[in-house]
């Protein structure tokens, strides 16, 4: 990996504005999933460093929160500019530790940076209210104030944007942050911290603790009385546990958890549009996103027309090392991801499904899997209930709109869903009937800083991005002005 700006490669935690080794000098390796190479070793911090980071964030909070929104925004905009100036290096760093193709890495960095810009501006619009009084001798006013120290834990599938989606609204609101990135992808997080330091954030406003011992860090973060807010993106299983831990200090929580996104193609869809949307939704990041289409429901009348084109599109995807030109599908994150795909496909085939494209490990390397289409799926198969998190499209055939809605909603998850139709009345009807926080209508990629991202049911609590995203980091205070 040849970076132009070699300072972006950092390998220690970033606490109180300093680069810090683990107190016991332990480190853990960061591996390139495309070829198994060790990229570098990173400080394996623990409870002690997490407590130091929380103390630093707590100390930095009064001064940071008292800056005006415009002052905070000015530093954030410097950070935003520095990220864009270093996009080539940041993309290479991301592809090397995470695997996604370079073009996707750049797309993620642009998207991730857009949250910094958006919230730098949004902070100036944190309005309170003056509420009409029920008594003439008093007035009712509300103000919004930053909640305090924020602790956050992020996953490996979006090593930059999952971080900026949490840090940006928090620091814009006036909070300070301690964040633990996923152990698979700490380098992107540390590069962001390096650029934050360059941008001029005061010490302690942003702290990054790298660790291979997530449970130890998570416990300190969720139980510390100095932390007022906890934000997590990851699996539903871990999210539930952390939410429980947060109960000990009644923290405000935001959770972005798993999904099981349905994608419905109705008979009245535009086939080309549906194929394009389904490909984009399913195969981004090799299928490793929580909003990737997980179940494709295709109506009888359009089935043959859609599948003919879809199979062709999936079969033509270019698999390889994400740093090679033209690659569309990189490696999966680890061996467990490959094992999960094999288990889910095996179960589907045992219960009567047919693999019509792919279905094998790919010759590009240990962590590569062929883009796959498996048809004839039904609700008895594990693939209808679990997130595949890989380049596999399970296809389900259906006959009526009611049936499709019932099948789509038959899950404990409620993050993203998609459907394709040219019928306006159906579009409105189905959008209202789907129990999901995000609905793509004739569109497979919907995330943007301007829109609220988040799930219903067991997919989470709270929203990231948009005017709603900053509310997660604010308290509403009611002032009663009496004696008038
Ligand atoms: P994924 O399948 O995306 O790896 P996880 O929920 O396991 O989902 O991981 C998401 C984030 O949560 C990562 O940063 C991981 O290190 C962290 N994590 C995993 N287990 C725990 C835990 N017990 N306590 C706190 N954080 C955890």
290 an active-site residue? yes
Give the confidence band of 1 by pLDDT, cuts at 50, 70, 90. Answer: confident
Quick check: is 26 in a domain?
yes
Same-domain check for residues 229 and 316: no
Say yes or no: CB of residue 155 within 6 Å of ligand 1: yes
Same-domain check for residues 43 and 96: yes
Encode 254-268: b = buried (16+ Cβ within 10 Å), e = exposed: bbbbbbbbbbbbbbe
Mean pLDDT of 316-333: 98
Same-domain check for residues 270 and 242: no
Which spans in 155-270 are helix H? 161-173, 186-199, 214-223, 236-246
Ligand 1 centre distance from Cα of residue 126 (Å): 32
Ligand 1 centre distance from Cα of residue 171 (Å): 23
Ligand 1 centre distance from Cα of residue 175 (Å): 23
Q: Which one from 175, 246, 290, 377 is the annotated catalytic residue?
A: 290
Which spans in 200-299 are helix H? 214-223, 236-246, 271-283
Say yes or no: CB of residue 247 within 6 Å of ligand 1: no
Protein residue closest via CA to atom 12 of ligand 1: 234
Same-domain check for residues 230 and 275: no
Residue whose pair of structure tokens reads 């990851």 in the numeric block: 234
Q: Which of 130, 446, 117, 465 is nearest to 280 (CA)?
A: 446
Quick check: is 69 in a domain?
yes
Same-domain check for residues 156 and 247: yes
For 470, residues 6+ apart whose C-beta sits below 8 A from its C-beta are: 119, 122, 123, 126, 169, 172, 173
Say yes or no: CB of residue 214 within 6 Å of ligand 1: yes
Mean pLDDT, all residues of the chain: 98
For 400, residues 6+ apart whose C-beta sits below 8 A from its C-beta are: none
443 burial class (0-12, 13-18, 19+ CB within 10 angstroms)? middle
Protein residue closest via CA to atom 19 of ligand 1: 214
Say yes or no: CB of residue 238 within 6 Å of ligand 1: yes
Same-domain check for residues 435 and 300: yes
Residue whose pair of structure tokens reads 């996923």 in the numeric block: 182
386 an active-site residue? no
Bridge partner list, 126: none
The token pair at 312 is 């062709």
Chain segment 125-163, per-residue pLDDT in tens: 999 999 999 999 999 999 999 999 999 999 999 999 999
pLDDT at residue number 405: 98
Quick check: is 178 in a domain?
yes
Same-domain check for residues 142 and 245: yes
Q: Which one from 108, 122, 256, 458 is the annotated catalytic residue?
A: 256
The token pair at 361 is 């490990």
Say yes or no: CB of residue 216 within 6 Å of ligand 1: no
CATH number of domain containing 76: 3.40.605.10
Same-domain check for residues 192 and 298: no
Q: Measured from the CA of 182, which atom of ligand 1 is nearest? A: 14
Pairing of strands 18-20, 13-15: antiparallel
Ligand 1 centre distance from Cα of residue 129 (Å): 39
Same-domain check for residues 337 and 233: no
How far apart, in Å, are the Cα atoms of 291 and each of 300, 325, 446? 25, 26, 9
CATH number of domain containing 402: 3.40.309.10
Say yes or no: CB of residue 159 within 6 Å of ligand 1: no
Quick check: is 64 in a domain?
yes
Quick check: is 372 in a domain?
yes
Same-domain check for residues 239 and 280: no
By most ligand atoms within 8 Å of CB, the mutation choice from 98, 214, 340 for ligand 1 is: 214
Ligand 1 centre distance from Cα of residue 217 (Å): 11
Quick check: is 454 in a domain?
no
Q: Measured from the CA of 181, which atom of ligand 1 is nearest? A: 14
Chain segment 73-131, per-residue pLDDT in tens: 999 999 999 999 999 999 999 999 999 999 999 999 999 999 999 999 999 999 999 99
Contact (Cβ atoms closer than 8 angstroms) between residue 344 and residue 383: yes
Ligand 1 centre distance from Cα of residue 144 (Å): 31
Q: Measured from the CA of 221, which atom of ligand 1 is nearest? A: 25
Protein residue closest via CA to atom 7 of ligand 1: 235
pLDDT at residue number 106: 98
Chain segment 348-373, per-residue pLDDT in tens: 999 999 999 999 999 999 999 999 99
Same-domain check for residues 51 and 76: yes
Protein residue closest via CA to atom 15 of ligand 1: 182
Helices (H) and strands (E) counted in the chain, each on its own, are: 14, 22
Say yes or no: CB of residue 234 within 6 Å of ligand 1: yes
Q: Measured from the CA of 217, which atom of ligand 1 is nearest? A: 25
Say yes or no: CB of residue 153 within 6 Å of ligand 1: yes
Q: Measured from the CA of 180, which atom of ligand 1 is nearest? A: 14
Ligand 1 centre distance from Cα of residue 255 (Å): 12
Contact (Cβ atoms closer than 8 angstroms) between residue 87 and residue 80: no
477 burial class (0-12, 13-18, 19+ CB within 10 angstroms)? exposed
By most ligand atoms within 8 Å of CB, the mutation choice from 154, 238, 339 for ligand 1 is: 238
Q: Which of 361, 321, 371, 364 is nearest to 95 (CA)?
A: 321
Q: What is the dihedral of CA 237, 242, 247, 252, to 10 degrees?
A: -110
The domain total for the chain is 2
Say yes or no: CB of residue 209 within 6 Å of ligand 1: no
Say yes or no: CB of residue 16 within 6 Å of ligand 1: no
Handedness of CA 51, 56, 61, 64 (dihedral sign): negative
Gyration radius from the chain CA atoms: 23
Range of the domain at 236: 6-257+459-480
Same-domain check for residues 369 and 303: yes
Give the confidence band of 187 by pLDDT, cuts at 50, 70, 90. Answer: very high
Q: For residue 53, give the 3-state DSSP assignment.
A: helix
Quick check: is 1 in a domain?
no
The yes-or-no verdict on residue 403 having pLDDT over 90 is: yes
Quick check: is 453 in a domain?
no
Contact (Cβ atoms closer than 8 angstroms) between residue 125 and residue 467: yes
By most ligand atoms within 8 Å of CB, the mutation choice from 212, 235, 254, 290 for ligand 1 is: 235
**Looking at the chain, how many residues does it have?**
484
For 130, residues 6+ apart whose C-beta sits below 8 A from its C-beta are: 139, 140, 141
By most ligand atoms within 8 Å of CB, the mutation choice from 47, 151, 155 for ligand 1 is: 155
């Amino acid at each position: 990996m040849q970076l132009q700006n070699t300072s972006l490669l950092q390998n220690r935690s970033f606490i109180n504005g300093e680069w810090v080794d683990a107190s016991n000098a332990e480190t853990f390796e960061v591996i390139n999933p495309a070829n198994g190479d060790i990229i570098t070793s990173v400080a394996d911090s623990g409870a002690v460093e997490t407590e130091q980071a929380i103390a630093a964030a707590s100390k930095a909070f009064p001064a940071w929160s008292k800056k005006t929104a415009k002052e905070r925004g000015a530093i954030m905009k410097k950070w935003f500019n520095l990220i864009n100036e270093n996009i080539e290096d940041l993309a290479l760093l991301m592809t090397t530790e995470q695997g996604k193709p370079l073009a996707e890495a750049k797309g993620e960095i642009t998207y991730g940076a857009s949250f910094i810009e958006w919230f730098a501006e949004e902070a100036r619009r944190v309005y309170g209210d003056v509420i009409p009084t029920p008594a003439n001798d008093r007035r009712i006013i509300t103000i919004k104030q930053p909640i305090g120290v924020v602790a956050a834990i992020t996953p490996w599938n979006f090593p930059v944007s999952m971080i900026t989606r949490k840090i940006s609204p928090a620091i814009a609101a006036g909070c300070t942050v301690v964040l633990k990135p996923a152990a698979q992808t700490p380098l992107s997080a540390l590069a962001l911290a390096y650029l934050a330091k360059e941008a001029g954030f005061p010490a302690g406003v942003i702290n990054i603790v790298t660790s291979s011992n997530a449970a130890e860090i998570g416990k300190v973060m969720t139980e510390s009385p100095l932390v007022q807010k906890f934000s997590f993106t990851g699996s539903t299983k871990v999210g539930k546990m952390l939410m429980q831990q947060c109960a000990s200090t009644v923290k405000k929580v935001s959770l972005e958890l798993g999904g099981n996104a349905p994608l419905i193609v109705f008979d009245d869809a535009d086939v080309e549009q549906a194929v394009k949307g389904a490909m984009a939704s399913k195969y981004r990041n090799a299928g490793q996103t929580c909003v990737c289409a997980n179940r494709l429901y295709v109506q009888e009348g359009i089935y043959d027309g859609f599948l003919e084109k879809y199979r062709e599109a999936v079969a033509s995807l270019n698999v390889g090392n994400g740093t090679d030109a033209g690659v569309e599908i990189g490696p999966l994150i680890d061996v467990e991801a490959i094992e999960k795909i094999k288990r889910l496909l095996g179960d589907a085939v045992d219960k009567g499904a047919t693999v019509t494209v792919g279905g094998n490990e790919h010759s590009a390397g240990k962590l590569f899997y062929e883009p796959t289409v498996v048809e004839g799926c039904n609700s008895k198969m594990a693939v209808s209930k679990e997130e595949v998190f890989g380049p596999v499209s399970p296809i389900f055939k259906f006959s009526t709109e009611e049936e499709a809605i019932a099948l789509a909603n038959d899950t404990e998850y409620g993050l993203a869903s998609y459907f394709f139709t040219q019928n306006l009345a159906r579009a409105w009807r189905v959008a209202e009937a789907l129990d999901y926080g995000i609905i793509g209508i004739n569109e497979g990629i919907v995330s943007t800083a301007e829109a609220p991202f988040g799930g219903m049911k067991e997919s989470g609590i709270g929203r990231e991005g948009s005017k709603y995203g900053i509310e997660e980091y604010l308290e509403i205070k009611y002032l009663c002005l009496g004696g008038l």
